[in-house]
Amino acid sequence: MLYTDEFGLTKLRLWTSLFMGWLAVLFVVLVAGLFRLRTNIFSFGLVVVAIGFFVTLNLMNADARIAAHNINRALEGGEDLDHCYFTDWSADAVPVIVQAYRESGNEQLGVLLAQMEGLQASYESRADTRTEYNLGYARAGAALDTLVDDLDQYDPANSEYSCYRGYY
């Protein structure tokens, strides 16, 4: 984990770490199969590990986990956030970013949330219709609603932390 502590967590790093963990479980099943604890244990273990890996991928909130790790890393170490990388995440990361902003008042997080505030209309419109409801969008919209007044002080177009200076 030294690499992720130094350079931050990305989706690829998270997925490969998860894969290596499930691969270690499969290795234990292989060793158990070598000692013939039970016939066909490897076949059964392979199916269980494959299902477990894909269930874990689907149930874990990857963007929120990455956001929490990278924000904590930056705030504890006094480093700048890679805010341009943050803008590529899904709505699932927004509540984590809002919570970190409330706790720290970090200017970079404020500018990032001001950029994401433009997406709030999209989040709310998708949360209103029954057929397009998405829990991540609903949570992101609700989290951004709590910061509407606070984010007025940030101008993403003229900030040194803006990734899209020419697009506003």
pLDDT (tens place) for every residue of the chain, 168 residues total: 667 777 888 889 999 999 999 999 999 998 888 887 677 888 899 999 999 999 999 899 898 999 898 888 888 877 777 777 777 778 888 888 888 888 887 777 777 777 776 666 666 665 566 777 778 878 888 888 887 777 777 766 666 666 654 444
Nearest to 112 by CA among 73, 150, 72, 142: 150
With beta carbons less than 8 A apart as the criterion, state whether 70 and 106 touch. Answer: no
**pLDDT on residue 121:** 61
**pLDDT on residue 150:** 75
**pLDDT on residue 168:** 42
Nearest to 136 by CA among 81, 67, 75, 85: 67
Q: For residues 148 and 76, give the distance between their C-alpha atoms in angstroms, rounded to a whole number.
A: 26
Nearest to 113 by CA among 51, 54, 71, 56: 71
**pLDDT on residue 49:** 95
Give just the sign of the alpha carbon dihedral 125, 131, 136, 142.
positive
Non-local CB neighbours of 124 within 8 Å, separated by 6+ positions: 137, 141
**pLDDT on residue 77:** 78
